[in-house]
């Protein structure tokens, strides 16, 4: 169904976050067997959980404020669930609901199943699924609530975005709702620019097409509205959310090394020590660049702030 009305301007919000520990439900201790899972080169499950908790779990916190309390028997899908930490929280807090976590990565799902075994979480399931083809993985109307955090920005083409919205529309129940939180064009702009300065250096340019590499473009509201307009969905919430996130230098280097894969995948053949050195060079360059920018948050404790710009969508059937 095509939306015939012009979309209204999105809400714009800005938050300067305080340095804090991840939510209690995000503090998962991995058993030794998980740390030894064969998850591929340069992937450390324990390291990923810690690094992603520094930023990504904050998006889930906000999604929970938007969707409100779950009903007694809701069917919930978490798209791009990664290691399943959020789904585990929902399953624990809502024992009458059935929670499914989906991810395109079989390795991530292996980690999720190890952390949250079925014998302990009978209402939590995991399924390998591609966001571009949800209708091939799930029944029509199967879910009352669909959530997704930091996954939709990997729908790089207009076709991928349209297919993803169509799939979400097909698997939502008649009165179902979806809430998506994902990076927007301009997110981490200054951090990426610091990365571009570093990859131009002779010691790194060879790995980055002679220093010409660019991070894949992140989506804009214009692109999202275009894809949404040809889908069976309508937007009930449209927000461009800016959150300034504080990091220590060490945490920011770790987050960049583990989570900013378009950069780091170029260095996957190098030892971990060299990859970490690259990430630290990016953070040093970022600090130098942002110290000269008026308006950047400052912190007496020495924390570095990054600008997390996100699109937040609430959706239901049109």
b/e per residue 246-260 (b: at least 16 CB within 10 A): bbbeebbbbbbbbbb
Residue 237 belongs to what H/E stretch?
A: strand 233-247
In this structure, is residue 252 part of a structural domain? Answer: no
CA distance 249 to 304: 7
Q: Which residues pair with 282 in a beta bridge?
A: none
Give residue 45's pLDDT: 55
CB distance 305 to 299 below 8 Å:
yes
Give residue 55's pLDDT: 58
In this structure, is residue 99 part of a structural domain? Answer: yes
Give residue 212's pLDDT: 96
Count of structural domains within the chain: 1
Give residue 85's pLDDT: 86
In this structure, is residue 295 part of a structural domain? Answer: no
* Domain range for 17: 11-187+217-245+309-317
CB distance 179 to 67 below 8 Å:
yes
Residue 104 structure tokens: 């395109």
In this structure, is residue 161 part of a structural domain? Answer: yes
Give residue 49's pLDDT: 67
Residues of the chain predicted below pLDDT 50: 1-6, 19-43
In this structure, is residue 208 part of a structural domain? Answer: no
In this structure, is residue 240 part of a structural domain? Answer: yes
Paired sense of beta strands 233-247 and 304-317, if any? antiparallel
In this structure, is residue 281 part of a structural domain? Answer: no
Q: Up-side HSE of residue 315: CA atoms within 13 Å toward CB?
A: 31
- For residue range 78-110, list pLDDT tens digits in order: 999 888 888 998 999 999 999 999 998 888 898
Residue 50 structure tokens: 């810690």
CA distance 195 to 263: 8
CA distance 293 to 276: 26
In this structure, is residue 182 part of a structural domain? Answer: yes
Give residue 199's pLDDT: 98
Q: What is the CATH number of the domain that holds 91?
A: 3.40.50.150
């Amino acid at each position: 169904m095509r939306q015939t009305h012009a979309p209204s301007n999105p809400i714009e919000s800005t938050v300067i976050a305080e340095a804090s520990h991840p939510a209690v439900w995000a503090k998962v201790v991995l058993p030794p067997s998980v740390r030894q899972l064969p998850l591929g080169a340069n992937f450390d499950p324990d390291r990923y959980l810690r690094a992603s908790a520094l930023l990504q779990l904050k998006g889930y916190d906000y999604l929970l404020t938007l969707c409100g309390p779950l009903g007694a028997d809701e069917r919930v899908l978490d798209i791009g669930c990664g290691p399943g930490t959020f789904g585990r929280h929902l399953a624990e807090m809502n024992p009458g609901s059935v929670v499914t976590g989906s991810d395109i990565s079989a390795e991530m799902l292996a980690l999720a199943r190890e952390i949250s075994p079925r014998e302990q979480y009978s209402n939590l399931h995991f399924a390998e699924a591609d966001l571009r083809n949800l209708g091939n993985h799930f029944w029509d109307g199967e879910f009352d609530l669909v959530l997704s955090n930091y996954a939709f920005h990997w729908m790089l083409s207009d076709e991928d975005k349209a297919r993803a919205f169509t799939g979400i529309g097909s698997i939502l129940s008649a009165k179902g709702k979806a809430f998506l939180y994902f990076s927007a064009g301009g997110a981490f702009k200054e951090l990426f620019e610091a990365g571009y300065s570093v990859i131009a250096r002779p010691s790194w340019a060879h790995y980055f097409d002679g220093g010409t590499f660019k991070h894949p473009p992140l989506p804009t509201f214009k692109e999202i509205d275009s894809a949404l307009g040809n889908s069976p969905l309508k937007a009930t919430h449209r927000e461009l959310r800016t959150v300034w996130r504080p990091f220590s230098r060490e945490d920011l280097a770790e987050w960049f090394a583990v989570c900013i894969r378009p950069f780091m995948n170029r260095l996957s053949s190098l030892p971990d020590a060299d990859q970490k050195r690259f990430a630290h060079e990016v953070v040093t360059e970022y600090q130098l660049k942002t110290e000269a920018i008026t308006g950047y948050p400052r912190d007496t404790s020495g924390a570095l702030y990054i600008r997390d710009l996100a699109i937040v969508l609430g959706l239901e059937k049109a």
